[in-house]
Structure 1
Amino acid sequence: MTAKTHEALVGAQFGGQAQAYLQSSVHAQGKDLERLAVWLSDKPDAVVLDIGCGAGHASFAAAQKAAHVTAYDLSDSMLAVVREAALARGLNNIATRQGQAEALPFPAASFDVVISRYSAHHWHDVGMALREVKRVLKPGGEFILMDIASPGQPVRDVWLQTVEMLRDPSHVHNYSQGEWLRLVNESGMTVQEMVAGRQALEFSAWVERMKTPAALVEAIRLLQQTVSDDVKTYFAIEDDGSFTPDTIMFRAR
């Protein structure tokens, strides 16, 4: 799949779901947003870029701690929701910009902090995106990432990637802790702190946010019911399909 084709697929998947993501409890709250606020608390003058901002929850958290935030996303519909929600919240230090992670339309050394939350698993070339992050960061700047993570173990990883793809065809890959450490190092940055966690996903809301077709919902449910006990236990798969994958949050310089 070419970058252009993947970009169009991501835009098509998320363009009509902006309000659902704004209202999603999974995206609107969480320990990662609380931790983000703490990590930014000593940066009141920071200029921040939020890559793959979605409905803007990380941008809103950052805007309460930093001087200025650019909310950046492929979807114009998402950015429209961010502008409206920022205005309603009285956050006048948020601007929006449209584009892809692999080609940031900003000069070198433009930002003190770059953040990204629940977006990186959609990037078609994560290495290129990370090199772009490094390029637009000022010397000594910081990159903060939050995302669903692969457990690393092959059988569990294959199951996670498969259900993610069935739910959302724009999904590319959830990376493990080890993969993230390697990718960040290869980009010329170094991880300073990493926090692992878990995120409970209520099944009906999870598939509804992406308008997953009924046939694919049935396929996901079949996979949940027929996998090994190890996978069922690891992901805490419940009778209604709800499950709990790993999460990762780190900051790098």
Structure 2
Amino acid sequence: MKQHALAAQQFGTTAAAYLTSAVHAQGQDLQRLGAMVRKTPTCRALDVGCGAGHASFALAAAGAQVTALDLSPDMLAIVAQEAQARGLQGLQTCQGQADELPFADARFDLVVTRFSAHHWPDVSAALREMRRVVRPDGALIVIDAVAPESPLCDTLLQTVELLRDASHVRDYRVSEWVALLEQAGFAAPDTDVWTLTMDFASWVARMRTPELRVQAIRDVLAKAPQEARYAMNIQADGSFDLPVAWMQTHAGSKRAN
């Protein structure tokens, strides 16, 4: 099964869990998105890989005209239903993939992606597409889990992420994001990093991780080197701290080829 189809399948079966997930439904980053939009009353925003729609809801509630795009029709159905329940008239959904955005050039004032890019098979192509559809004076905000710069912790994180979710591709390091964004024609991003504690039981339950893989994750974490256990704050029950970054940028002075 190809990566796009695998991701759509994985998240189609877990859509409702992501709507109610505290990790995804809460956060100062959502408040920050709303505050940005309130400064731009006529903002046209695109949420790429919208998932259960939390970034879209924050943008629309602040007054933006939002297009929520995702691969999974089940996710989009959840988003549309919840938007109606919240009275968010300025939100519409669209099925599509990040590396082939079905929009005209310079269509949006703001492009956002939140907790999605680590599933994309070709982040470089997706960023080029985002560069194409954002206005020259517009902004791009990437919010995603990021890997530690330490190769030891990076490898450990990718291992447990893939065991938990077969559609996982990579949590990129911040340094990798900077390079990818610049290659796509964006300026070096302003970056803030914080940590979220991943409660092990809810983390695997949300993705419906098979028990065999759950046991493998527990074994990998339990036998991790002391340096990694300390850096990731791995707990006895398998819970750990996951770095998350807000990366805000704009089109660079020269468009990427």
TM range (shorter): over 0.9
Alignment of 1:157-236 (within 5 A): 157-236=154-233
Query: Which of 74, 87, 93 pairs up with 2:84?
Result: 87
Contact 1:46/1:68 (CA < 8 Å) preserved in 2?
yes
Structure 1 residue ranges (4+ consecutive) displaced by more than 4 angstroms after TM superposition: none
Deviation for aligned residue 1:192: 4.3
Query: Which of 91, 101, 104 pairs up with 2:101?
Result: 104
Deviation for aligned residue 1:40: 2.5
- For structure 1, list consecutive stretches of 5 or more residues without a partner in the other structure: none
SS of residue matched to 1:115 = strand
> C-alpha separation between the residues in 2 aligned to 1:196 and 1:36?
16
- For structure 2, list consecutive stretches of 5 or more residues without a partner in the other structure: 251-257
Q: CA RMSD in A?
A: 1.0
Residues 130-188 of structure 1, C-alpha deviation per residue, up to 9 Å, x if partnerless?
A: 00000001111100110000101111000000000000010001111111111000000
Contact 1:149/1:247 (CA < 8 Å) preserved in 2?
yes
- The residue that corresponds to 2:253 in the other structure is none
> C-alpha separation between the residues in 1 aligned to 2:213 and 2:189?
39
Query: Which of 236, 241, 254 pairs up with 1:239?
Result: 236
Query: Which of 50, 53, 66 pairs up with 1:53?
Result: 50
- Look up the equivalent residue of 1:194 and give its one-letter code: T
Residues 191-236 of structure 1, C-alpha deviation per residue, up to 9 Å, x if partnerless?
A: 3421111111111111011110000000000011101111111111
Q: With the length of structure 2 as denominator, give the TM-score of the two structures.
A: 0.95
Contact 1:191/1:250 (CA < 8 Å) preserved in 2?
no
Contact 1:147/1:249 (CA < 8 Å) preserved in 2?
yes
2:100 paired with 1:74? no
- Look up the equivalent residue of 1:184 and give its one-letter code: L
Contact 2:147/2:173 (CA < 8 Å) preserved in 1?
yes
Deviation for aligned residue 1:239: 1.1
Deviation for aligned residue 1:41: 2.7
Aligned residue pairs: how many?
A: 250
Q: Percent identity?
A: 46
Query: Which of 137, 150, 153 pairs up with 2:150?
Result: 153
> C-alpha separation between the residues in 2 aligned to 1:39 and 1:205?
31
